[in-house]
Amino acid sequence: MADVPVAASLLPDFLPDAAGWVPAARRVPSPNFDARPDGMPLDVVVIHNISLPPGQFGTGDIEAFFQNRLDVSRHPFFETIREVRVSAHFLITREGELVQFVACTQRAWHAGQSEYCGRQRCNDFSIGIEIEGADDQPFTPAQYTTAAALVTALRAAYPIQGVAGHSDIAPGRKTDPGPHFDWPRFVALAGLPAGLLPYRREG
Ligand SMILES: [Zn+2]
């Protein structure tokens, strides 16, 4: 299967509106956000993976977690994150469905302590995309298609100058999206020019 770039003009439903919401996304609002600093350029995309419970898909627990309504009785791991308040702008399910929790114009809480090319606190200037998955499992073709469509549209709407993995901006602390995220495939599908090639930390 050839990885042909998707065209932004073919994907109007993926273009965020003026408030930063993407029409193609199922909207699941999270309270875990706040305002970006005044005048901050919105110019980096951060790719993550997540699964809840770890390694399980399609449970609905990611949405519950980002909405602070996780049922901690469902799994022992949930006790360890019951006080955690996080979010991402987007989630892409295993089926390729796009879910949006926070408007792009707002600051979602996805990156934590992080640095991109010398700039600290990546949440200030980045859009976070969670891809439902785990470090030890391949992602699905539908997820690459949706991720590429979304990033293509985000580039049309905002001055995106880089795409990075969470592990690139928080090395030693984070491992996602992990070794199974096929960066060359994603780059080809999203038609990313060399200047936007995923940020790879030296060494
Ligand atoms: Zn992450």
CATH number of 110's domain: 3.40.80.10
Q: How far is the CA of 111 from the centre of ligand 1 (A)?
A: 6
Q: How far is the CA of 49 from the centre of ligand 1 (A)?
A: 6
pLDDT for 163-201, tens place per residue?
999 999 999 999 999 999 999 999 999 999 888 877 766
For the chain, the C-alpha Rg in angstroms (whole number) is: 16
Please give the residue range of the domain that contains residue 192. Answer: 8-196
In a domain, 36, yes or no: yes
Looking at the whole model, is its pTM more than 0.85?
yes
In a domain, 151, yes or no: yes
In a domain, 2, yes or no: no
Q: What share of the chain has pLDDT > 70, as a percent?
A: 95
In a domain, 177, yes or no: yes
Active site (annotated) includes residue 130: yes
